[in-house]
Amino acid sequence: MKKRLIALLMSTMMVGSVLMTGCSTVSTEEAGETSADAEDETTTDTFKGDGDKTINILLYMQEHEKKIYSGLIKDFVEEHKDEIKEVNFEVTTQDEYGTKMTANMTAGDMPDIFYVGPDSVRSYVDNGYVLPLDDYVDQETVDNLWPAIKSAYQYDGTQVGQGSLYCLPKDLSCFAFAYNKDLFDEAGLAYPDPENPYTYDEFLEVCKALTKDTDGDGEIDQWGVANADAFGMTPYIYSNGARFLNDDYTKVNITDNDAFKTAFQYYVDLTAKEGVTPSVEQDTALGGYQRWLDGQVGFYACGTWDVAAFMDDSTFPYNWDLCGWPVGPDGTKSTTWLGTVGYAVSAKTENKDLCTELIKKLSTDLEGQQAVSGETTGESLQLPNIMDYAKSTFKDKVADGTVPYASNIDVIYNYIEGSDKYDGIFSETTYTYNSEWMDVFLEGVPNVKNGTVSVDDYLKEVEPKMQEALDNAIELQNTSTND
């Protein structure tokens, strides 16, 4: 009897503890453990004024960004100290952010200011979480934002890209391509032309010339390019004019899609057939990013957030510059993906005017933008959000060396604004409720790259699985939105 009682008690406890791993609010034990390796924990800075209004902010950002934004918030509190009692500035990690927001929503305790990405504008608006900014932000400010950003945060209740504006951007980023000038010099190769991105064939030739055994031990130790599947594969595919999904993001379209097949085959062959990238095994040993920093690869992706690190000699002691991703035979423009996250104000905040003023300061204040883009700090964390500044003073400062930046900065502008040779789009996962369909695709890519599975077989095998995940995402999207 006693034994049975102990058994029952023990089982109940175990069931309880397991059930709670599924519950967002109590899963902190495990979540806490996993985030222990993240560099920063959640921190809250409080700025006090003499007034009676309280504003709570929840964002994620890196330590050096936080320093700049804390300064802006401090100034803001100073400027409005008669109104503000305190501003609580809570900064967490990107991994933790979603969990924290979910907990806040479940508890009905939303911060006054938080991030919304273009992927969640619809569900946040439809569920009444965010305030439309039309009455608070003047037209001049709006007109001075990059067009790509504006359309990402506009929504009219049925379609994104038109209607009211719901966020001001924290940033607009771009995933450009970079090359190591020193390796080009050593190989006696001409630098890539930023005006004319390589074709697939040209790119392969250059990569072959850069791939070699430098120390003569019989093993290749320098490669043309390194590609991280999760980020660096889509530019090859987009640049062949191909997409994973159809135009309204409801169908996966990769098997009956020659442009896609050509692009994916080319991407895989760079590793499997041509060997101009580190092998799959080598890639698991040391990622492409490390190999790039180590001067082992000729080309590597360069996000706008990477620029500061690549310009820093202690991190990357090589000369480098920006160029375009190679263009496939079915494509017309070198195309990469853009990214952004925006500041939103809670629809339920009691301080609508103050909060919108504050996000204007964080997003478009000239001094703040001079800091984050590197003019005053010497470290470019992002492109300026203010278009006229980005195109005039900022470019001059890049040219005269005040802002350490790659000289072919126009590559990035071309991607962001589009040109006859360049185009930038938000990645397709931006438009779907989650990115599980993409994860499904990525899971098996190593097996194709190491030659275990052929491209045709893989696409045939994976397409129905991706479609299932996409259907699931659409269903979830529909539970979260009006239509």
Q: Which residues bind other proteins (CB under 8 A)?
A: 3-4, 7, 10-11, 14-16, 18-26, 30, 33-34, 36-37, 98-99, 101-102, 105-106, 120, 123-124, 127, 129, 230, 280-286, 433-436, 439, 442-444, 446-447, 472-473, 475-476, 479-480
**CB of 34 vs other proteins, minimal distance in Å:** 6
Asked whether the beta carbons of 154 and 161 are under 8 A apart, the reply is yes
**CB of 122 vs other proteins, minimal distance in Å:** 10
Pair of tokens at residue 389: 């500044």
Which CB atom, from 20 or from 425, has the smaller least distance to other proteins?
20
Which CB atom, from 142 or from 476, has the smaller least distance to other proteins?
476
Which CB atom, from 223 or from 433, has the smaller least distance to other proteins?
433
**CB of 95 vs other proteins, minimal distance in Å:** 9
Q: Token pair 């990469």 is at which residue?
A: 336
Which CB atom, from 95 or from 312, has the smaller least distance to other proteins?
95
* Per-residue CA distances from 242 to 246, 331, 336, 434, 452 (Å): 10, 8, 12, 21, 24
Which CB atom, from 194 or from 288, has the smaller least distance to other proteins?
288
Q: What is the DSSP letter of 406?
A: -
- 327/55 Cα distance (integer angstroms): 48
- 349/345 Cα distance (integer angstroms): 7
Which residue in 132, 266, 125 sits closest to 204, CA to CA? 266
Q: Which residues contact 220 (CB under 8 A, 6 or more apart)?
A: 211, 212, 213, 275
54: exposed, middle or buried (C-beta count within 10 Å: 0-12, 13-18, 19+)?
A: middle
**CB of 113 vs other proteins, minimal distance in Å:** 18
Type of residue numbered 280:
V
Type of residue numbered 322:
L
**CB of 16 vs other proteins, minimal distance in Å:** 5
- 68/122 Cα distance (integer angstroms): 30
Other C-beta atoms closer than 10 Å to the C-beta of 460 total: 12
Beta strands in 145-291 (DSSP E): 154-155, 164-165, 168-180, 223-225
**CB of 27 vs other proteins, minimal distance in Å:** 9
Which CB atom, from 177 or from 437, has the smaller least distance to other proteins?
437
**CB of 338 vs other proteins, minimal distance in Å:** 22
- 12/18 Cα distance (integer angstroms): 10
**CB of 202 vs other proteins, minimal distance in Å:** 31
Which CB atom, from 6 or from 366, has the smaller least distance to other proteins?
6
Which CB atom, from 19 or from 366, has the smaller least distance to other proteins?
19
- 148/141 Cα distance (integer angstroms): 15
Which CB atom, from 20 or from 209, has the smaller least distance to other proteins?
20
Q: Token pair 């934002």 is at which residue?
A: 145
**CB of 440 vs other proteins, minimal distance in Å:** 9
- 360/137 Cα distance (integer angstroms): 8
Which residue in 269, 271, 303 sits closest to 289, CA to CA? 303
